[in-house]
Structure 1
Amino acid sequence: MGLSLPLTIWSDYEIRDDNFIYTKKSPTFIITFALMIALCYYFQQHIATIDSGTLSMLIFLITICYLIPWRIACYIKFKRVFKQKIQLEGSKKKTHHLIPHEFVLFFT
Structure 2
Amino acid sequence: MTTSPFYLIVILIACLVLWRRTRSMYRPIKGKGGRLLFPILFFIPAIQLLVSSKVHLSLWSDLGAILLGLILSIPLIWTTRYEVREDQLIYAKKDFVFVVAFLVVLAIRFILRRHFGYMDAYTLSALFTLVAISYIVPWRIISFLKFRKIYRAAYQANYKA
Counterpart CA distance in 1 for 2:135 and 2:73 is 4
Match of 2:122 among 41, 53, 74: 53
Residue 3 of structure 1: how far off its partner (Å): 1.4
Q: Taking structure 2 as the reference length, what is the TM-score of the superposition?
A: 0.55
After superposition, residues 9-88 of structure 1 pair within 5 angstroms as 9-88=78-157
- List alignment gaps of at least 5 residues for structure 2: 1-69
Tell me which residue corresponds to 2:9. none
Structure 1 runs (4+) deviating above 4 angstroms are none
Tell me which residue corresponds to 1:89. 158
What do you get for the CA RMSD once the two structures are aligned? 1.0
Residue 91 of structure 1: how far off its partner (Å): 2.2
Counterpart CA distance in 2 for 1:55 and 1:47 is 7
Q: State the aligned residue count.
A: 92
Residue 46 of structure 1: how far off its partner (Å): 2.2
Counterpart CA distance in 1 for 2:109 and 2:99 is 16
Counterpart CA distance in 2 for 1:28 and 1:88 is 30
Instruction: Describe the superposition over 1:38-87 as per-residue Cα deviations: whole angstroms up to 9, x where unpaired.
Output: 11111222222111111111111111100000001001100100011111
Larger radius of gyration: 1
Identity of aligned residues (%): 34
